[in-house]
Amino acid sequence: MLPRIFLHNEVSLDGRMDWFTPDVGLFYELASRWQEEATLAGSDTILGAGEPVPEEDEQASEPNPGSPGDTRPHLVVPESRGRVRIWHHLGQKPYWRCMVSLCSRSTPDEHLEYLKEKRVEVIVTGGERVDLRAALEELRDRHGVNTVRVDSGGTLNGVLLRAGLVDEVSLLVHPSLIGGISPAPCSEHPISPRLRAWCRSGWPISNSSGARSSG
């Protein structure tokens, strides 16, 4: 059984996610309403954060310990190509209690060994690419995760929408028209017919700062 998955993004009026200054405080205030148990972040989002990453040492390889009553979400990253090599940095952040890498059978053995050394939990599904449906079902089975917030860009958003895995879409709309051809749209893939019909019918507005749809 799948957890409930909601996609929460800040976008311009023309659907771009770049070239404007996001309201980070309001974005995460709205996101907190879902009380997520896991954060699903794309590898491009993790690698493109633009923050300095300290050099790896023995202490940095130790994950940030949690308490038995820890309610922080899990960090879950699909990375079948094994590009994310900053788990030592992610594990020291205070936002998450557990690191989970979603890999496929094509993920290099060397990367799987690296994840083992860094004590990053691994879920392997799919052949060339991660089978996200199977991986999310396994995440729920292992950890009892019922609510997942997607914190990503257009690539992962589009894959999830196209596969019909998203239960709820939340958009914080920035009052800007950016224009141009965007390298960072809300979704880089065609979305499912069910969601397109949803869009045409109009989404109910839950507050003055964000548009929200559920079903």
Which pLDDT belongs to residue 141?
A: 97
State mean pLDDT over 37-62.
Answer: 76
Contact 13, 174 (CB under 8 A): yes
Name, of 6-10, 68-72, 179-183, the range with top average pLDDT.
6-10
Q: Which domains does the chain have, with CATH numbers?
A: 4-50+71-214 (3.40.430.10)
pLDDT category at 182 given cuts 50, 70, 90 is low
- How far is Cα of residue 137 from the mean position of the Cα atoms in its chain? 16
User: Partners of 122 in the beta sheet?
Assistant: 101
Q: Which pLDDT value is given to residue 200?
A: 40
pLDDT reading at 77 higher than 90: yes
Q: Answer yes or no: are the C-beta atoms of 43 and 83 closer than 8 Å.
A: yes
Q: What is the pLDDT of residue 207?
A: 40
pLDDT, tens digit, 9 for 90 and up, residues 120-160: 999 999 999 999 999 999 999 999 999 999 998 888 998 99
Instruction: Find the mean pLDDT for residues 5-22.
Output: 87
Please, what is the average pLDDT of the chain?
82
Sign of the CA dihedral with 12 first, then 194, 159, and 104 last: positive
Q: What is the pLDDT of residue 131?
A: 98
Both structure tokens of 102:
């979603």
3-state DSSP assignment of residue 78: strand
Contact by Cβ (8 Å): 6, 168: yes
Instruction: Give the pLDDT score at 186.
Output: 57
Quick check: 195 pLDDT over 80?
A: no
Structural tokens at position 49? 């954060």
Instruction: Provide the whole-model pTM.
Output: 0.80
Predicted confidence (pLDDT) at residue 194 exceeds the cutoff of 70: no
| pLDDT value for 102 | 98
CB-CB neighbours of 101 under 10 Å: 26
Residue 29 has pLDDT above 80, yes or no: yes
What is the predicted pLDDT for the residue at 69?
A: 83
pLDDT of 198 strictly over 50: no
Residue type, 159: V
Task: Please say if the pLDDT value at position 80 is more than 70.
Answer: yes
According to the model, what pLDDT value does residue 187 have? 56
Which single residue is written with the structure tokens 């800007």? Answer: 176
